[in-house]
Amino acid sequence: MIVKITWNFKLKITQFLAKGLFMRAYDVIAKKKIGKELSDEEIKFVVEGFTKGSIPDYQMSALLMAICIKGMTKKETATLTLCMANSGDIVDLSSISGIKVDKHSTGGVGDKTTLVISPMVATIGVPIAKMSGRGLGHTGGTVDKLESIPNLKTSFEKDDFINIVNEVGVCVAGQSGNLAPADKKIYALRDVTATVDSIPLIAASIMSKKIAAGSDAILLDVKTGSGAFMKTVEDSIALAQAMVDIGESVGRNTVALVTNMDIPLGNAIGNTLEIIEVVETLQGSGPHDLTEISMILAKEMSILGGKENPEELLKSSLTSGDALNKLSEMVRAQGGNQEFVLDTSKFDVASVIYEVKISETGYIYKMDTEGLGIASSLLGAGRETEGSDIDFSAGIMLKAKTGDKVQAGDTIAIFHTSDENKISAAEEKFMSSLTIKGEKPEPVQLIYARIDKSGVKRLRD
């Protein structure tokens, strides 16, 4: 029997295929391998299939490698981001009044700006419902720093999280276990298949979690330099532009700053040490670079939150003590002992304090910031794997930074650790991360570019 296939039947089959009901991962891989744009349906098919287990690791690995080599269009990247964001919980912050602003840093050494700017911005009426991560490798994590305050909690039920923001104006919590689970599974695969260094994949990974976290506007602090994932300004600008494009495409007002991570931010590297430096900065006596960049980031967040000309209000939050009081309120609301914020001498001090002395005279011409972060981790301040324990009291206090003149015999850093056996390896790594020359280097530039929906604006100090 011969069946005559009508035009209408052919059309229905075409529509059926287009909806992904007969899709194969093989065909999606082959399409991207030759550089063709994937449809929304194809991207949704592979993300859902891989997350649920119907698409195996080896096929997803092949697709990720094809994306690394051939790239993705803005539309593809936005679709991938939304699919990953929608793979788990989407936090509903609508019960918090006002424009909720989130801030994300791509990671650095000594970067404690979240804990400086969040109370500052909350003080002037912009609600901050912030989800942060833990540290891994050479970069520190905001959640780890906060948890160095005794009894402080960073894990909350959604209603408790929202109640703290409504009552205090700010809450900084750990990321939900079911926030963008597709991203977590895809990233784990990227990490072992040499497919991490793809701007579309990095942008989608970061922004999927930011979108799922529910804020109305997003400020991105994209680090560049030796202590950052992106080592060059151009790559950092490209990543920032990709993330801004994603945010704007899904209706989130998004701004990015490309900031310097060729030098640690502030003088403290390590959890308790950084909390103490946060308090000093909120008291108006913090390091110049940390204070300056915090003011710039706080201004950007405040404007995203609907505040016009917020500079004077932000400065006043420091001089009046309101920002420090706001941090103290947040610590109390999150179960922590606020007395440690009001009097940092209450923190435990590391049992071993060691002065690092320089053996030559000259200028610190360059610092390998990643190396300094590793040295701090070697002292016990960081974790090598996700489940590793950390020593909250461990870390490094810098006494000299890039551009400073040093004399042979000067103390250039103070190590804090609970195990003197860790000093030797940490000191070797620390010293190998410094370049000393007879000439003074050019002044360090803090911010290289600002990116918003109108494009890239390069900045000069």
DSSP for residue 4: P
Contact 277, 112 (CB under 8 A): yes
Quickly count: other Cβ atoms within 10 Å of residue 299's Cβ: 19
Contact 79, 40 (CB under 8 A): yes
> Under the phi-then-psi rule, with left for phi > 0, alpha for psi from -120 to 50, and beta for the rest, what region is 214?
left
Report the distance separating Cα 346 and Cα 356, nearest Å: 25
Report the distance separating Cα 247 and Cα 77, nearest Å: 11
Return the closest-CA partner of residue 253 out of 245, 265, 261, 264.
Answer: 245
Paired with 160 in beta bridges are none
Q: Which of 102, 111, 144, 183 is catalytic?
A: 183
Q: Which of 32, 104, 326, 401 is catalytic?
A: 104
Q: Which of 185, 190, 326, 450 is catalytic?
A: 190
Report the distance separating Cα 25 and Cα 412, nearest Å: 56
Quickly count: other Cβ atoms within 10 Å of residue 399's Cβ: 16
Tokens of 120: 């500052």
Q: Is 215 helix (H, G, I), strand (E, B) or coil?
A: coil
Report the distance separating Cα 188 and Cα 11, nearest Å: 40
Q: Which of 176, 198, 205, 215 is catalytic?
A: 205
Q: Which of 44, 130, 209, 307 is catalytic?
A: 209
Active site residue 209: yes
Report the distance separating Cα 364 and Cα 449, nearest Å: 25
HSE (CB half, 13 Å, CA atoms) of 383?
A: 16
DSSP for residue 125: T
Active site residue 183: yes
Report the distance separating Cα 323 and Cα 215, nearest Å: 22
305 CB contacts (<8 Å, ≥6 apart)?
A: 98, 99, 100, 101, 121, 125, 126, 127, 217
245 CB contacts (<8 Å, ≥6 apart)?
A: 74, 77, 78
Q: Is 117 helix (H, G, I), strand (E, B) or coil?
A: helix
Quickly count: other Cβ atoms within 10 Å of residue 217's Cβ: 21
Report the distance separating Cα 456 and Cα 460, nearest Å: 13
Tokens of 215: 């804020």
Q: Is 1 helix (H, G, I), strand (E, B) or coil?
A: coil
Task: Output the CA torsion sign for 117, 199, 141, 225.
Answer: negative
Residue type, 67: I
Residues annotated as part of the active site = 104, 183, 190, 205, 209
